[in-house]
Structure formats: C-alpha cells, structure tokens
C-alpha cells in the first residue's frame, strides 16, 4: 500500500525534548512523549488539568490525504460525519468532545448506545457548512473526502481559514499515494492510532488496537474454499465490493474468495450476466435501513437469471450491516459474523 508521509511534531518551548516516533506500515504517526515522558503518555492529561501541549504530544502536523493539518492541541469540539468516525471516537472514550454527528448509517452498536445518547444529530446526510459551523467545532472528522466540499460541510481550505481543522479517515483517502491499495487491517488499525495521537489518547488507541488484533487473531477463517460476491446495492446493475476496499479485506479474513477480487477498486458495478457467470458459492448481502438484505434477496429471486443460481436457490447468503462496509471499529466483528454464519449453514 502506498506510504503516507509521517506526522511531524514541531518543537516548541512547551515540548523541547525529542519525540518518540512509531512508524506503522500503512500510516506513519507520532504516539509520543516529551520531556521526561515515554511514548503513549499523551493519553494522560497534564497535572493542572489543561489539554494539549507537551503532555498530550502536541503540537503535531498531519499530512491527511495530501492536506497538511497542524494541531496545536488535541481537538475539544468535534463534528463527526459518517458512522465510522463517530464510532471510532466513541471507542476511544471521546464522546464528551463530540458536539454533533451527521450522516450516520444507523444506530451505534449497543456497547456505545449510552455514550452516544446525548450527542446531537446535525443532519441525516452531509451537513451544510452553516449547520456545521453552528456547532462551533474546532475539528470536522469526515468519513469521506467528498463530505468536505463547498456544497457539503465546507471545503477544507475555507474551514481552515475559519479556524476549523478538518481530518478525513485515512482509509478513505483517494489521492495517488494516499489511497489504500489494498486496504488492510494493519492500515485500519494505524488509522486508529493516528486518531489517538491527534486526540491525545494514544494509550486508549493502543488498547483498542490490541483488543481488535486479539479478536481478529482468534477468528478461524472458513476453510471450504468458497467464492463470494459482496452485493451492496443496485437494481439494473449490482454495486459490489471490488478488490481493494473493506469488502475485500473482510472477505479475505473470513476465508472467502471474492469473485471480482481482480478489480482494482474498492467498489465496482457488474452486469447481472457477469454475476451469473461468476456463480459465487455465497452472496454477502449488505443490510441497511434504506436497502435491506431482504429486499436484495427478493430481487435475486425475482430475476430469472439470478434465480437459477445455486447460491440463490439454496439461500446461501451471509448478511453484513452497512456500517461494517467502511473501514472502522466494526470490521473485525463483521469477519467474525460472516464466519459464524457460514458455520451455521
């Protein structure tokens, strides 16, 4: 996967000592200490209760999807866009810093329900710049680069001029040298660690990564040599998981061979004829409130061509919640769920 430039820490009077730098394969980041502190000390607040500065590993500079962002201190007022960003901050215990959430893909997992209960929903879709600024954030944490446009929450340069930093989940970067090719769990976990560095909670991020790595390592992939199609949406042409994004990463870990794994893109469209020709052993169905797994089954069974496929005739489906289709804290659970569903067939 292309390597992104590192987070760079600026030396100031408050942070004069050298920083400790941890280099991850898919995202280079600082998880650091300073004068008398070890790497990871950023998770602890200074003794006087202040945030930012030397004790939190700030200031630091992040090259995010080709945009340089300078964090003088850890963000305190954050607007999240997409479930992936909201749930990562909840997993890091940062719910008190979220002043608004937008464009979520459904309810948060049960484990985060209490923490998310008091967070204001700004919009069901991408919030306008006006709605975003009304929340008075110091950071907009976006799940997609396309969330940050003049027609959306505001373009990055404009928001920066208004004193609002922007940060895109690294797994969603699209520019050359930044786009994951392919996305890997190492890359996803490095994104968690980078967020930990930015928010001054490196220890919490390290704990989250350790927990998720242990859960992933404990999963025994299916060993039946099954082929699979990841069907997300689409009527005339199915929109399916390609060979470089989260669907491919999840299927690989679950022991499934993606029938369109040779497509060098996160997502692609196929003809129904191509689906029939691929004849997958299993069909992975994305379940969303606006496009349920049940509705996709109905389409497959109503189409004479796909209705004749053995996978459809025998109901060889596994179901994945929509939020797990993007890089985030739900990906490992999605692998475990798929393996469990395959075993239960």
Alpha carbons 228 and 344: distance in angstroms, whole number: 17
Q: What is the average per-residue pLDDT within 75-93?
A: 98
Alpha carbons 222 and 220: distance in angstroms, whole number: 7
Mean pLDDT lowest among 23-27, 115-119, 283-287, 320-324: 23-27
Sign of the C-alpha dihedral computed for residues 26, 240, 345 and 295 taken in this order: positive
> Which residue has tokens 């730098």?
21
Please tell me the predicted confidence (pLDDT) of residue 55: 59
What are the strands, taking DSSP E only, across 157-226?
A: 165-168
Do residues 73 and 59 touch, judged by C-beta distance below 8 A?
yes
Q: Please name every residue paired with 22 in a beta bridge, in sequence order, or none if there are none.
A: 29
Is the pLDDT assigned to residue 148 strictly greater than 80?
yes
Alpha carbons 306 and 195: distance in angstroms, whole number: 43
Q: What is the average per-residue pLDDT within 76-102?
A: 98
pLDDT per residue as tens digits for the range 249-293 = 999 999 999 999 999 999 999 999 999 999 999 999 999 999 999
**How far from 299 is each of 236, 303, 312, CA to CA, in Å?**
10, 6, 10
Q: How long is the chain?
A: 345
Please tell me the predicted confidence (pLDDT) of residue 36: 34
CB atoms within 10 A of CB 11: 12
Please tell me the predicted confidence (pLDDT) of residue 214: 98
> Which residue has tokens 């006006």?
130
CB atoms within 10 A of CB 61: 16
Do residues 293 and 285 touch, judged by C-beta distance below 8 A?
yes
Is the pLDDT assigned to residue 33 strictly greater than 50?
no
Biggest CA–CA distance in the chain, Å, is 71
Do residues 141 and 84 touch, judged by C-beta distance below 8 A?
no
Token pair for 54: 């030397």
Please tell me the predicted confidence (pLDDT) of residue 194: 98
How does DSSP classify residue 97?
G
Q: What is the average per-residue pLDDT within 98-110?
A: 97
Average pLDDT, the chain: 87
Q: What is the average per-residue pLDDT within 27-50?
A: 35
Q: What is the average per-residue pLDDT within 110-124?
A: 97
Is the pLDDT assigned to residue 25 strictly greater than 90?
no
Do residues 116 and 91 touch, judged by C-beta distance below 8 A?
no
How does DSSP classify residue 184?
-
HSE, side-chain direction, 13 A CA sphere, residue 279? 4
**Higher pLDDT among residues 41 and 59, named by residue:** 59
Confidence of residue 180 (pLDDT cuts 50, 70, 90): very high
Q: Please name every residue paired with 9 in a beta bridge, in sequence order, or none if there are none.
A: 60
Is the pLDDT assigned to residue 54 strictly greater than 60?
no
- Sequence-distant (6+) residues with CB within 8 A of 206 are 31, 40, 193, 196
The model's pTM: 0.85
Do residues 269 and 239 touch, judged by C-beta distance below 8 A?
yes
Residue 260 backbone dihedrals phi, psi, to 5 degrees: -120, 30
Alpha carbons 333 and 77: distance in angstroms, whole number: 29
């Amino acid at each position: 996967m292309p390597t992104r430039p590192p987070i760079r820490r600026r030396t100031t009077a408050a942070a004069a000592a050298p920083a400790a730098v941890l280099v991850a394969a898919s995202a280079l980041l600082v998880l650091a200490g300073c004068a008398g502190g070890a790497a990871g000390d950023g998770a602890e607040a200074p003794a006087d209760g202040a945030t930012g500065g030397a004790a939190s590993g700030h200031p630091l500079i992040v090259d995010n999807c080709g945009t340089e962002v300078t964090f003088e201190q850890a963000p305190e007022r954050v607007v999240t866009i997409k479930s992936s960003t909201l749930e990562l901050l909840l997993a890091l215990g940062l719910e008190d810093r979220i002043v608004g959430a937008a464009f979520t893909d459904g309810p948060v997992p049960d484990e985060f329900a209490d923490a998310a209960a008091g967070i204001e929903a700004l919009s069901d879709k991408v919030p306008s710049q006006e709605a975003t600024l009304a929340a008075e954030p110091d950071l907009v944490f976006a799940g997609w680069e396309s969330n940050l446009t003049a027609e959306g929450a505001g373009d990055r340069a404009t928001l920066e001029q208004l004193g609002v930093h922007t940060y895109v989940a690294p797994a969603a970067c699209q520019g050359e040298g930044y786009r994951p090719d392919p996305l890997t769990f190492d890359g996803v976990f490095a994104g968690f660690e980078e967020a930990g560095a930015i928010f001054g909670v490196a220890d919490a991020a390290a704990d989250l990564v350790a927990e998720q790595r242990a859960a992933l390592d404990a999963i025994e992939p299916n060993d039946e040599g099954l082929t699979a199609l990841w069907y997300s949406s689409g009527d005339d042409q199915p929109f399916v998981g390609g060979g470089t994004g989260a669907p491919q990463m999840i299927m690989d870990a679950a022991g499934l061979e993606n029938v369109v794994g040779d497509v060098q893109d996160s997502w692609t469209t196929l003809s129904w004829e191509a689906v029939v020709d691929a004849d997958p052993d299993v069909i992975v169905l994305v379940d969303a409130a606006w496009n349920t797994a049940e509705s996709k089954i109905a389409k497959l069974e109503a189409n004479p061509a796909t209705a004749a496929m053995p996978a459809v005739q025998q109901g060889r489906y596994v179901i994945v919640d929509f939020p797990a289709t993007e890089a985030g804290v739900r990906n490992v659970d999605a692998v475990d769920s798929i393996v469990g569903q395959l075993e239960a067939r």
